[in-house]
């Protein structure tokens, strides 16, 4: 009885230990008596004791490998250190298990050789400014090469590009000189703009002053003209009233003399002499004689 219990217990233990649960995003590569048998997906699976064995447990998640810096030589014979980061994913567990020995080491070596080949066709300046181009070329080459290994290369990034110390110092001096040149250009452009604005301001001010003086002279001339027009209209109205009142020619001539006197004492530069000046002189003589008789 005890013997049967022991046998049953051993069988239960063997069965329990050969029940395998495959988690999400994982696969098991199973061999049966040596050769490849099958690939287990997510779920509960039973391993036949002493016949089947788990050859490899593989993660289907995207994986990241950060490779150490690799020495590369550019087309213009500059040696630099470049380290890369590779993002990959296993798409075929069987090929990944049997396609290549030590797949990660194979990816590292393939990445280093591909990087040397690409950088060797480029000069230093283009290498420093063409990371996207280098990343794309490397991804296409590595993705095609790793298809036979059941690996999909999703992305490759150049993490650091380290030129020699002398090259770095020369680049820093060049960048410093370029910044100083741009600074001098900006200062000169600022001074030029300032001088232009000052000249335009003086020009505008002179134009405004001239226009103001012109408008002032026009206004003064219009004021004088209006004054003269008003005085003339007033004299005309006064003469009209005198004439309507029945004044004779002597009174009208006297009013004309008074008007002539005001014109002569004014600011006018021209005096218009009426055509009947002789009549005005005769009237003036008559007026003087009359005044003398009255005084005597």
Question: Distance between CA atoms of 77 and 207, rounded to whole angstroms?
Answer: 67
pLDDT digits (tens, 9 = 90+) for 248-291: 555 556 555 555 555 555 454 444 545 554 454 454 444 444 44
Q: Which CATH number covers residue 104?
A: 3.30.479.30
Predicted local confidence at residue 220, as pLDDT: 86
Which pLDDT does position 271 carry in this prediction?
A: 47
Pair (137, 55) in one structural domain? no
In a domain, 24, yes or no: yes
**pLDDT (tens digit, 9 = 90+) per residue, 59-73?**
999 999 988 888 888
Burial class (CB in 10 A: 0-12, 13-18, 19+), 97: buried
Q: Would 7 be classed as within a structural domain?
A: yes
Whether 177 maps to a domain, the answer reads no
pLDDT at res. 262: 55
Q: Tell whether 213 is covered by a domain.
A: no
Residue 113 maps to a domain: yes
Give the max Cα distance, the chain. 190
- Asked if 134 and 62 touch (Cβ cutoff 8 Å), the reply is no
Together in a domain, 124 and 82: yes
Q: Give me the percent of the chain exceeding a pLDDT of 70.
A: 80
For the segment 121-148, the average pLDDT, to the nearest whole number, is 88
Q: What angle do CA 69, 71, 74 make, to 5 degrees?
A: 125
Residue 204 domain-assigned (yes or no)? no
Other residues' Cβ atoms within 10 Å of the Cβ of residue 227: 11
Handedness of CA 219, 221, 224, 230 (dihedral sign): negative
Cα–Cα distance measured from residue 293 to residue 244, given in angstroms and rounded to the nearest whole number: 30
The pLDDT value recorded for residue 286 is 44
Q: Is the residue at 171 inside a domain?
A: no
Q: Give the domain range for residue 89.
A: 63-163
pTM of the model: 0.55
Distance of CA 101 to the CA centre of its chain: 52
- Same domain? For 48 and 70 the reply is no
Same domain membership, residue 89 and residue 52: no
Residues 45 and 76 in one domain: no
Count how many domains the chain has.
3
Do 42 and 82 lie in one domain? The reply is no
Which of 138, 163, 188 is at the close of a domain?
163
* Residues comprising the chain, all counted: 296
Whether 11 and 53 map to the same domain: the answer is yes
CA dihedral 29, 60, 58, 86 (to 10 degrees): 130
Instruction: Report if residue 77 sits inside a domain.
Output: yes
Same domain, 81 and 7: no
């Amino acid at each position: 009885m005890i013997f049967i219990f022991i046998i049953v217990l051993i069988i239960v233990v063997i069965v329990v230990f050969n029940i395998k649960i495959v988690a999400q995003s994982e696969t098991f590569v199973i061999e049966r008596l040596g050769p490849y048998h099958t690939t287990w997906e997510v779920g509960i699976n039973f391993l036949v004791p002493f016949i089947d064995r788990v050859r490899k447990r593989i993660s289907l998640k995207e994986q990241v490998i950060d490779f150490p810096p690799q020495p590369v030589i550019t087309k213009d014979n500059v040696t630099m250190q470049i380290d890369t980061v590779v993002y990959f994913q296993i798409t075929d567990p069987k090929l990944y298990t049997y396609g290549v020995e030590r797949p990660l080491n194979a990816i590292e070596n393939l990445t280093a050789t591909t990087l040397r080949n690409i950088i060797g066709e480029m000069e230093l300046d283009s290498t420093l400014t063409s990371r996207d181009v280098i990343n794309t070329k490397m991804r296409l080459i590595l993705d095609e090469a790793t298809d036979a290994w059941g690996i999909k290369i999703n992305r490759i990034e150049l993490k650091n590009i380290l030129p020699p110390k002398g090259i770095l110092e020369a680049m820093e001096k060049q960048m410093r000189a370029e910044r100083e040149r741009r600074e001098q250009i900006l200062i000169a452009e600022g001074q030029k703009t300032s001088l232009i604005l000052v000249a335009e301001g003086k020009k505008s001010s002179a134009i405004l002053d001239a226009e103001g003086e012109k408008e002032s002279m026009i206004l003064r001339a219009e004021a004088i003209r209006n004054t003269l027009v008003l005085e003339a209209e007033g004299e005309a109205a006064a003469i009209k009233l005198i004439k309507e009142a029945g004044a004779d020619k002597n009174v009208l001539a006297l009013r004309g003399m008074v008007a002539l006197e005001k014109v002569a004492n004014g600011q006018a530069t021209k005096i218009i002499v009426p055509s009947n000046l002789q009549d005005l002189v005769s009237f003036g003589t008559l007026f003087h004689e009359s005044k003398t008789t009255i005084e005597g």
